[in-house]
Structure 1
Amino acid sequence: MSTTTPSAGPRAGSGPSLSTAQGVWLVAEREIGSKLRSKAFVISTAILLLGALALVIWAGFAASDESGAPVAVTSDASAYVEDVPGLDVTEVADRAEAEALVTEGTVDAAIIADPASPTGFTLIGESDVSSSLLLMLGQTPTVELLDPEATAWALAYIAAIGFGVVFLMAASLFGGTIAQSVVEEKQTRVVELLLSAIPVRTLLAGKVIGNTILAMAQILLLSAIAIIGLTVTGQTELLQGLGTPIAWFAVFFLFGFVLLASLFAAAASMVSRQEDIGSTTTPLTMLIMAPYFLVIFFFDNPVVLGIMSYVPFSAPIGMPMRIFLGEAQWWEPLLSLAILIATCIAAIWVGARIYENSLLRMGARVKLREALAG
């Protein structure tokens, strides 16, 4: 049977007088400081950032590595590659045979004579031609792609994985951290000391803001790493295509995280033991995981992405993906963001009510109806 400690309202006035802003920042600073002093948090963040940097650089170099690149060359174009080092040349009779080898994957590209090209020859690739191969040739010939849509598909899949993984990891990590912090403070009775100085809603706001600052810092660092990695490896095409979507992702993630953080804190306040956190936060975890799996499996499905871009819990992934694919009209991100902000405000109100009515109740899990009723 749960027990209820007297409401926090009267207690808030018994301690030192703090303005709302001072109280919020005091709690936020405490949240940030506790995470930065945690070796587990610092080490996990460092591993995440180093892993992301290594992955981006490795993928970029792997995509552009043409050392000993196999190429098919027609007899009338052989003169153009005679003095080019690092090529594994296969001579073919005509263009049709060269294209067949490219399509089969036997060679990375084909070089054929072309009087209309400024360099006298044309470079043929399947879905793309790496910049390092062009550097080997020392010239910029006419380039033809047999299957240009394959490149767009691959880039879209990479973007889907990137947005999905970052959202899933950041929201899960910090959402779980908030939930554990709330329950830990209830178990140790620290919350009663905190509420003697500040109101309940100020405590909630400080927790949400503190963890939001940390989450956004990680997002900005990951974005910087992606930009640096893609620049170093010469993947300028992918970098240019990702610029605007990454900016929108950061904006959507900000409000989406505030929404989720408020609900995680509210859900955790309904229990009094660490072992019971999963019973109230599992639905929220599912809401975070669902957009990840949807964007991975349906990244090229305009109907699914369209629905995702207007559902608040999936909009931080769905809308940036549609912007990356060029499927969103100029007004759609603004409308989606407005829906997300409105939902965020509603979630904060509901979350604050649950948090306020459940935080000082110890013992058995507080039922949702009771938490909302007060």
Structure 2
Amino acid sequence: MKLEETVKKIRSVDPSSGRRAWEHWDSLCKPLRGFGKLEEMVVQLAAIQGTENPCCRKRAIVIMGADNGVVREGVSQTGSEVTAQVLENMGQGISSVCVMSRILNADVVPVNIGMNVDGVHEKIRNRAVRHGTGDIAIEPAMSREECIRAIEEGIRITEELREQGYDLIITGEMGIGNTTTSSACAAVLFHRQPEEVTGRGAGLSSQGLGKKIQVIRQAIEVNQPDPEDPIDIMAKVGGLDIAGMTGCFLGAAACRMPVWIDGFISGISACFAARLEPLAKEYMVATHCSAEPGGKMALDDLGLEPLLYAGMHLGEATGAAAMLPLLDQALNVYYGLPSFASGKVEAYQHLK
């Protein structure tokens, strides 16, 4: 589906189903709201799915793989060749998130949205808009048209997964240099200085961090992205992985599916999606707070509070994947705990 059509298709979640889910929680034999945010997560799932009997049986972890030309500026500890290698490892099921997924009832879906080379493994979905982006320190990352195409590929992948019976999308990425592009986007989106939003990524020295901040400042000065135009920001100082995940957020909302934010980079994509259609936020879950400085800013911008604070900054949707057992336990309690009446316990009352 095209971007414009997708945005028009997004509607608010069903509040009546959410209210009925709350009523069910409050009837269960436990202290009212005792499971805190886990109860909220189930209620949100009910509102999204339009039923007080929500389910989450088939989960897709979508990893957008892309290369970033800014790596040539020396902003990362490793070279761009690592992007393709890790995506190949995902195809073989041996990356960090793949190992986690073995016990999570979740399928990892690696996508080549713009690596320097085509993915070789048969499990990699080759949807490359171009082979890597331009070096944002001296030129735009991509054209506006390419950015929209990448967003639409993310939408299309989400639609395909929905047709295959998936009922949860978890967003993730793999792309050397993408904390640089995400920090550049964050500086523009949140009207902050580069040093306020930029972290060490996969592991930079203090000197390397200083270089990274300098490159981001230069990229913004050279490209002059419009803070009020999310596509302009993505096209000029963003990345294809960011654009692809933006499409996943929009596509999931249009398909009435919950979509989980992983860390900083995924959070920036969520911010772009929310600017393109604010109702998309109703379908998002902030799973954890990234250790990258811009991670918390992205969630604050969305008005979302993360469920986990674990100091994670690995990428690959690993932080979001760590939330799946908590969702499963919340649903187990929602369906398995007896009511106050059947448990022969006097019901708690909401007190003012």
Structure with greater Cα Rg: 1
Task: Normalising by structure 2, report the TM-score.
Answer: 0.23
Task: Normalising by structure 1, report the TM-score.
Answer: 0.22
